[in-house]
Chain A
Amino acid sequence: MAKMTASKTQEEQWMVQNQVFRIYDLVYRLPPHAQSVNFELRRDDHIEYLTRSLTQLGPNFTVLDANRPWLCYWIIHSIALLGDCVDDNLESDAIDFLRRCQDPNGGYGGGPGQMPHLATTYAAINALLTLGGHKSLSSINREKLYSFLLRMKDTSGGFRMHDGGEVDVRACYTAISVASVLNILDERLTQNVGDYIISCQTYEGGISGEPGAEAHGGYTFCGLAAMVLINEVHRLDLPGLINWVVFRQGIECGFQGRTNKLVDGCYSFWQGGVAAIIQRLHLMIKEQLGLSSTFKFDCITESDDDSSDTDREKPMLEGLNNNGYNFIKGSKGMRPLFNSMALQQYILLCTQEEAGFRDKPGKRRDHYHTCYVLSGLSVCHHCNVKEAETPPLPKDVMGPYSNLLEPVHPLYNIVLDKYYEAHEFFARL
């Protein structure tokens, strides 16, 4: 057998691994006090970094000129996760800015005057919902947005990113997510989306961006969340999907996005979010596995005395648009399928900078990673409670309990309180 030398991929993997292990080793050899400092979330510094970025960004950010609503969402959502909000002036400016990104014929573009685009529409809507309040929520032109979504519908059942743009699973998710959260989802929009997403689930178990490609963390999140929102998640091979996603958390403790890729902080949410969604799909999973109706997963137990009260069926709201609401109101039927403590360790020790978060040691912080690392950390904190609103136990939070972040709605990635406010607002319209 000819011996080859290590591949480039392996060299890179070893390098990252060594860096990560060195950090863990160093921290665990520190005296207890110094050690605990390292596990602290530098909340105030993060908030300052984020708030500053919202008013003024350096000239290097011109590459994001076609993604400005994304910057708004990444920053505003991160601040909300940290339990803070932007001041009134800034909020008002952000709403005005996003209003200027809104196309007269519906949807939001990457900046004022740009064509409407599904991804930036998703970002703009999520940012506006996170800001909340009447001014923000009523700035959205739902009727026009609906007609924009309909225009983006492709004959394959999927959606096009923008007029003349590409069709992929990301487009399906962003379209379905905004329609659902704004209470404008209907059968014309959902028609055959499920078929398209099913055609992207690969034999590995995860979901790819387009048919024929390999499974990918971001697309797996998009595909799964969209399928839940259109109430067709039973059509996915869920055991296969679980099998894929659980093996994406590696020895570095964080998640990778695809097989044999390097760990990356942003997948804390993409893959962690998939795991969080799966926790509420226990009935479907059981059915697909052919487990008997009485089979019980290793489930979350909160205390010894809550017997039948919590089992009482909750009132479910009817209609396609309430899938997201009913989903979050239901209970988690199984324990998290990832190692929450390990992921929190990776996040706090390897991705946290003085302010802001990064992909991995050796990379620079940015707003995208700050947003998705924090979202992933929130998923970790809240993965062991059965009901969405229940505060987690101190043992679920690595580091001091003050690290605790706000819970998110995992299908939309909007802070839960903000989601409820928006749900109530749009349910009346």
Chain B
Amino acid sequence: MHGRPRKAPTDEEQEASSNKAVKLRDLQSQVLQFHRNKIYTKEAIEISAKLLESNPEHYTGWNYRKLAVEHLLDHLPENGVDSESIQSILDEELRLVENALKRNFKSYGAWHHRKWILSKGHSSTDRELRLLSKFQKLDSRNFHAWNYRRFISALKKIPDEEELQYTTNMIYDNFSNYSAWHNRSVLLSNLLEKGGKGYDDRGTVLGEEYEFVRNALFTDPDDQSGWFYHLWLLEQTLQREPLFLSSWPPNGSTLCLSIDGYLNSQQSWPMLHFQSKARTFPLILYFSEAVEGVSSSTVTVESEYNAGGDLIWRPLSPKKFGFSQAWLTDLKFSDKVHSLESCPVKITVAHFPGIISSSGMPCSQSCHLSFTVCVPANDQERSEVQTAHRISLEEENFKALATQSEEAKLVHSLSKLEIEKVNRPTTCKQSLETISNEIAHCQELLSSTDCKIGKLTLARLWMARNTLITYGSTDDGTEVHYEDILALYRDLMKMDPVHICYYEDEYSLALWKQATSNLVSLLKHCYQYQETSSSPSMNPSLCVRLNGLSLSRIGSMEHLLWVQMLDLSHNKLRSIEGLETLQLLSCLNLSNNKICSFTALEPLKKLKSLQVLDISNNEIGAHSIDTRRYLCSSPLNHALVSEWHFDKFASDDVTLKDHWDAYLIFDDLNLIQLEIMGNAIVDDRLRSFLFKLMPSLKWIDGESKCD
């Protein structure tokens, strides 16, 4: 079935082609000889032309031609140096290249020779463009031709607008021609950047482009080129300044530093409590996208008692090349300050330029926020009174919030603590229209065909629209479509199971956003935690519960920076990237997820306040022995960890080597309570290892240390 029968060539054909080969060999050796001996006679040059016309790949031949041209130009008769004779020499070269390209238009040597002649200032723009049209008609994807086209348009200073029109024509001719779409995106980027006539209004230009690409998408929704361009357009439409979204401590709050120990006592707006032994508290800034350049030279902090000069800002969850959505610094009050009634702190984000998003957009609007800090006197004594008791995360201990409860009010206040939207750029109104328009068209397309990429695009468009609405300056109550987005992703998971993990992640991000981005839905996930059996002196705590939602990934944290108690149980989490942003977290429930190694818990290492952790019923140790550990720091593979306290465990039967991955995560934590049962790795040896590792730890799976 593979080989089709080959037609045996006839004897005559064979002979003819052998003769041709002999002739070509002969031509070649002559040209090489001319090249070596620098012979540039008319006859020699003609022979080289014959060679190149039959074998345009012969780069030595092309070099010979260049030398010959230089020679001829140098040896024009004294009185005859006129443009005409120069022209005839160069014209001959252009003719030769054209013939050679007819033979093989993928010949690097031939195209390069033409560039060389052109850079001598010869030939007309028209002539070159005509030639290009001819070749681009024959093979519209030939990258030599496209490269040459860009060369010519740069050399002849052809306006980008004209070249854009050319891509339009090419696309009309064949809308699947990705080379044309690609060149279009390059040209359009230039034009938008320069912002000349007709291109100063980005929104309108992009709107027209959407309309243009739609023709291709509607003709065949399965064609790749159009969608690739569509995705590029969407990216351009969403490109905007990074915004400073929220902070902790929140704007307008009063922060009470104490060393209360254990779960922070009841919070009621605007009085927030934060326990701190070292009189430090974290200051967190959260942006709409990953940024770099957050430092004491872009963010100013004014406070009477803030000792210590320049603050060191650290990216909390560094993305590519050091960009991060969340940035952290520690504010410290010196020990000399015994008690403080109130100390106002004023912060100006982007006071000076330098904060830049990964797409290169600067954060240009400076934003102010202020809060007050107080340090009550004698807090040491109080702390000794309170002793920790075991937390029970049983369902019965959670109660939905009553509408008028203190907690509901607190959430209410906290949710309004976003940074003022007044300063936000209003330009996105047009983008919003463009995207809404695209949504309508995409729906129209999907009404007649059931295509994956169409559904995915619709979901992306809706998400993009929501982003514009939530980060925009006007909150006109436009309807958001989270339910529709979720339905689309559920559909896609069924239609295209190969990419299910991607869809699950996107689904999770949408669901997370839906649950956290407005007060009404956030309140639905807020619960009062109070142990039914505990003494009345124990204050109820506020818990955010995003449990049982099939989340596979953790989403944006802008409204959750204040959370101290979080329930993510009964999801599908494999990793917990993102949790490191919640610096106040003291109680975390991750039970019944799909976490399969201790090392997946690494973000916890950054949570200095964490005291209660439930990772029961995950898959740690359930999969065959982890041979992937060379990826992590291990005692055998030097480390991020500065020192390994081998001697601490030397006398035990529990060796550090067996549990180095647990060591890596838990050594930095100060847990009081840990639930770990229901993981294949757990045994008594591990439990005793963990007790030894964390002196603060009182209970593992309900067993206390002394038992």
Contact A214:B182 (CB < 8 A) given known A239-B320, A311-B629: yes
Contact A290:B628 (CB < 8 A) given known A114-B32, A213-B146: no
Contact A290:B320 (CB < 8 A) given known A4-B175, A305-B625: yes
When the two chains form their complex, are residues A6 and B219 in contact, meaning their CB atoms are under 8 A apart? Answer: yes
B470 within 8 A of A: no
A53 within 8 A of B: no
Contacts of B179 in A (CB 8 A): 214, 258
When the two chains form their complex, are residues A163 and B63 in contact, meaning their CB atoms are under 8 A apart? Answer: yes
Contacts of A4 in B (CB 8 A): 175, 215, 219
Contacts of B177 in A (CB 8 A): 7, 9, 260
When the two chains form their complex, are residues A3 and B147 in contact, meaning their CB atoms are under 8 A apart? Answer: no
Beyond A161-B108, A293-B602, 15 extra complex contacts between A and B, CB < 8 Å: A2-B215, A10-B176, A62-B21, A66-B60, A164-B63, A164-B66, A214-B143, A239-B320, A259-B182, A261-B178, A294-B600, A295-B599, A296-B629, A311-B629, A353-B3
Contact A258:B141 (CB < 8 A) given known A2-B215, A165-B112, A294-B602: yes
Contacts of B640 in A (CB 8 A): 293
When the two chains form their complex, are residues B219 and A59 in contact, meaning their CB atoms are under 8 A apart? Answer: no
The distance in angstroms between the C-alpha atoms of A212 and B219, with both chains bound, is: 29
Interface size on B, residues (CB 8 A): 89
When the two chains form their complex, are residues B630 and A213 in contact, meaning their CB atoms are under 8 A apart? Answer: no
Chain B proximity mask over A275-301: 1 for CB below 8 Å, otherwise 0: 000000011001011111111110101
When the two chains form their complex, are residues A304 and B625 in contact, meaning their CB atoms are under 8 A apart? Answer: yes
When the two chains form their complex, are residues B632 and A354 in contact, meaning their CB atoms are under 8 A apart? Answer: no
Q: CB-nearest residue of chain B relative to A23?
A: B1
- How far in angstroms is the closest Cβ of chain A from B226? 9
B583 within 8 A of A: no
Chain A residues 102-138 with CB under 8 Å of chain B are 109-111, 113-115, 117
Contacts of B20 in A (CB 8 A): 59, 62
Checking A62, A202, A354 against B25 with a beta-carbon cut-off of 8 angstroms, the contacting residue is A62
B18 within 8 A of A: yes
Q: CB-nearest residue of chain B relative to A365?
A: B3
Chain A proximity mask over B211-250: 1 for CB below 8 Å, otherwise 0: 0001100111001110010001000000000000000000
Contact A294:B631 (CB < 8 A) given known A66-B55, A214-B179: yes
- How far in angstroms is the closest Cβ of chain A from B601? 8
B577 within 8 A of A: yes
Contacts of B55 in A (CB 8 A): 62-63, 65-66
The distance in angstroms between the C-alpha atoms of A214 and B225, with both chains bound, is: 13
Contact A1:B60 (CB < 8 A) given known A9-B176, A214-B178, A307-B627: no
The distance in angstroms between the C-alpha atoms of A1 and B321, with both chains bound, is: 44
A331 within 8 A of B: yes
Q: CB-nearest residue of chain B relative to A299?
A: B628
The distance in angstroms between the C-alpha atoms of A305 and B624, with both chains bound, is: 9
Q: CB-nearest residue of chain A relative to B657?
A: A308
When the two chains form their complex, are residues B59 and A9 in contact, meaning their CB atoms are under 8 A apart? Answer: no
The 6 closest A-B pairs by CB, nearest first: A9-B176, A59-B21, A294-B599, A290-B319, A311-B630, A299-B628
Chain B proximity mask over A323-341: 1 for CB below 8 Å, otherwise 0: 0000000010100000000
The distance in angstroms between the C-alpha atoms of A5 and B220, with both chains bound, is: 9
Contact A283:B631 (CB < 8 A) given known A165-B59, A290-B324: yes
When the two chains form their complex, are residues A288 and B218 in contact, meaning their CB atoms are under 8 A apart? Answer: no
Q: CB-nearest residue of chain A relative to B16?
A: A59
Chain B residues 13-30 with CB under 8 Å of chain A are 17-18, 20-21, 24-25, 28-29
Contacts of B575 in A (CB 8 A): 295
Checking A60, A67, A306, A312 against B627 with a beta-carbon cut-off of 8 angstroms, the contacting residue is A306
The distance in angstroms between the C-alpha atoms of A50 and B230, with both chains bound, is: 46
Contacts of B323 in A (CB 8 A): 290
The distance in angstroms between the C-alpha atoms of A304 and B224, with both chains bound, is: 42
When the two chains form their complex, are residues A115 and B59 in contact, meaning their CB atoms are under 8 A apart? Answer: yes
- How far in angstroms is the closest Cβ of chain A from B172? 9
- How far in angstroms is the closest Cβ of chain A from B626? 8
The distance in angstroms between the C-alpha atoms of A365 and B183, with both chains bound, is: 33
- How far in angstroms is the closest Cβ of chain B from A108? 12
Q: CB-nearest residue of chain B relative to A30?
A: B1
A interface residue numbers (CB < 8 A to B): 1-10, 13, 23, 26, 38, 58-60, 62-67, 109-111, 113-115, 117, 161-166, 202-204, 208-210, 212-214, 216, 237, 239, 258-261, 282-283, 286, 288-297, 299, 301-302, 304-308, 310-313, 331, 333, 352-354
Checking A63, A291, A304 against B104 with a beta-carbon cut-off of 8 angstroms, the contacting residue is A63
- How far in angstroms is the closest Cβ of chain B from A310? 7
Q: CB-nearest residue of chain A relative to B665?
A: A294
- How far in angstroms is the closest Cβ of chain A from B658? 10
Contacts of A67 in B (CB 8 A): 57
When the two chains form their complex, are residues A295 and B636 in contact, meaning their CB atoms are under 8 A apart? Answer: no
- How far in angstroms is the closest Cβ of chain B from A244? 10
- How far in angstroms is the closest Cβ of chain B from A127? 18
The distance in angstroms between the C-alpha atoms of A352 and B1, with both chains bound, is: 10
The distance in angstroms between the C-alpha atoms of A38 and B1, with both chains bound, is: 9
Contacts of B115 in A (CB 8 A): 166
Contacts of A297 in B (CB 8 A): 628, 631
Contact A331:B630 (CB < 8 A) given known A7-B175, A59-B18, A290-B320: yes
Checking A23, A288, A304, A331 against B321 with a beta-carbon cut-off of 8 angstroms, the contacting residue is A288
When the two chains form their complex, are residues B223 and A313 in contact, meaning their CB atoms are under 8 A apart? Answer: no
The distance in angstroms between the C-alpha atoms of A306 and B637, with both chains bound, is: 15
Contacts of A63 in B (CB 8 A): 55, 57, 104
Q: 19 A-B residue contacts at CB 8 Å?
A: A3-B219, A4-B219, A7-B219, A8-B174, A10-B223, A66-B55, A67-B57, A203-B232, A212-B186, A213-B143, A214-B178, A237-B320, A259-B225, A294-B600, A294-B602, A295-B599, A306-B627, A307-B625, A352-B2
When the two chains form their complex, are residues B112 and A166 in contact, meaning their CB atoms are under 8 A apart? Answer: yes
Checking B60, B174, B176 against A109 with a beta-carbon cut-off of 8 angstroms, the contacting residue is B60
B156 within 8 A of A: no
The distance in angstroms between the C-alpha atoms of A366 and B228, with both chains bound, is: 33
- How far in angstroms is the closest Cβ of chain B from A149? 17
Contacts of B320 in A (CB 8 A): 237, 239, 288-290
When the two chains form their complex, are residues B602 and A295 in contact, meaning their CB atoms are under 8 A apart? Answer: yes
Contact A260:B225 (CB < 8 A) given known A9-B176, A290-B317: yes
Checking A162, A239, A259, A291 against B59 with a beta-carbon cut-off of 8 angstroms, the contacting residue is A162
B318 within 8 A of A: yes
- How far in angstroms is the closest Cβ of chain A from B56? 9
Contacts of A331 in B (CB 8 A): 630
When the two chains form their complex, are residues A296 and B632 in contact, meaning their CB atoms are under 8 A apart? Answer: yes
When the two chains form their complex, are residues A161 and B143 in contact, meaning their CB atoms are under 8 A apart? Answer: no
When the two chains form their complex, are residues B59 and A66 in contact, meaning their CB atoms are under 8 A apart? Answer: yes
When the two chains form their complex, are residues A259 and B224 in contact, meaning their CB atoms are under 8 A apart? Answer: yes
- Looking at B214, B629, B630, the one whose CB has the most chain A CB atoms below 10 A away is B630
- Looking at A62, A115, A313, the one whose CB has the most chain B CB atoms below 10 A away is A62
Contacts of A59 in B (CB 8 A): 17-18, 20-21
- How far in angstroms is the closest Cβ of chain B from A171? 10
Contacts of A13 in B (CB 8 A): 176
B633 within 8 A of A: yes
